Amino acid sequence: MIRRSLLAVALPALLAAAPARAQAPGATLTVAAAANLKPAAEELRQAFEAERPGVRVALTFGASGAFFAQLRNGAPFDVFLSADRDYPAKVIAAGLADAADEKVYALGRLVVWLPPGSTVPLEQRGLAALADPGVRRIAIANPALAPFGRAAEQALRAAGVWDAVRPRLVLGTSVGQAAQFASTGAADVAFLPSSLALGKELAAGRAVPVPEALVPGIAQSGVVLRTARDPALARAFLAFLTGPKGRAVLAKYGYGLP
C-alpha cells in the first residue's frame, strides 16, 4: 500500500515536470566566420534557426589567420568557417579538429573595387593600370592573416606590378576593414571578395573580377572543432551550408559553389 501511494504521488509530479524540461532554453552554436561571409551570414543564420526552433547561432567575424591563432590558444568556438582551406588544414594538423569534419562550402571570388567616378582603366589595361601615379592608395587585407589578402598579393605579383604598388598598399586586419577603407574613401582601389563588393555600402562603385588566370576561385571550407559542445548540431550546420538552402543563399551573395 505504501509503495502504491508513493507511486500515485510521484507519477503526476513527473508528468508535470516534463513540459518544463521541453521549454528549457535551446543550444547556442558559436561560429568563427571569415569576414567575407558577413553579408550572407545573417540570412544563413536565420534560415538555419528557422529549421531548428530553440537553437541560436552566434557569429563572430574576423580574419581566418587571426581565428587560427585564437583557436590554438583555446578559443571556445564550435565551428570555424575559413576563407580558404589552408587554415582548416592547420587546425586539423594541430589536433583541434578531425579531417572528416571539414567541408568545402563555397568558392570565393576576388574583385578589384573602384569608387563611383573612378577613371582607372582597369577593364582596358588590367591590373597594370594600378601602377599609374594617379592610384595612390590600394586597400587589401593583410596577406599574413587573410586568404583574400594573400590572393591579392598573388594577383599583383602575377601581373608584374607588385613592386610598383607595394608602397601604396593600405593593409586591413581583415577584408572587412579593407572594405571599410574603400567605403570611407581611405583608398582609391580595393581588392575584395565579390561578396563584400556586392554589399549596399559599395554597390555604387564598380567591381572588376580578377582574371582566374591570375587567381583561381578560392575554396572556402569549414570544420567542426573538437571543442564543440554539441558536435551533432555543429555538423548539422555545416551540412546546411552545403545543402540546397545554404547553397542558394551563398550563390545569391556572389559565391561559386563547389
Cα of 128 vs its chain's centroid, Å: 29
User: What pLDDT was estimated at residue 198?
Assistant: 85
H/E/C letters for each residue in the chain?
CHHHHHHHHHHHHHHHHHHHHHCCCCCEEEEEEEHHHHHHHHHHHHHHHHHCCCCEEEEEEECHHHHHHHHHCCCCCCEEECCCCHHHHHHHHCCCEEEEEEEEEEEECEEEEECCCCCCCHHHHHHHHHHCCCCCCEEEECCCCCHHHHHHHHHHHHCCCHHHHHHHEEEECCHHHHHHHHHCCCCCEEEEEHHHHCCCCCCCCEEEECCCCCCCCEEEEEEEECCCCCHHHHHHHHHHHCCHHHHHHHHHCCCECC
User: What pLDDT was estimated at residue 87?
Assistant: 97
User: What pLDDT was estimated at residue 31?
Assistant: 98
Q: Which three three-digit cell numbers place residue 142?
A: 593583410
User: What pLDDT was estimated at residue 55?
Assistant: 96
User: What pLDDT was estimated at residue 201?
Assistant: 86
Instruction: Name which of 56, 84, 231 is nearest 152 in CA terms.
Output: 84
- From first to last of its 258 residues, the chain has per-residue pLDDT tens of 444 443 343 434 433 343 333 333 579 999 999 999 999 999 999 999 999 999 999 999 999 999 999 999 999 999 999 999 999 999 999 999 999 999 999 999 999 999 999 999 999 999 999 999 999 999 999 999 999 999 999 999 999 999 999 999 999 999 999 999 999 999 999 999 999 998 888 989 999 999 999 999 999 999 999 999 999 999 999 999 999 999 999 999 999 998
User: What pLDDT was estimated at residue 200?
Assistant: 84
User: What pLDDT was estimated at residue 34?
Assistant: 96
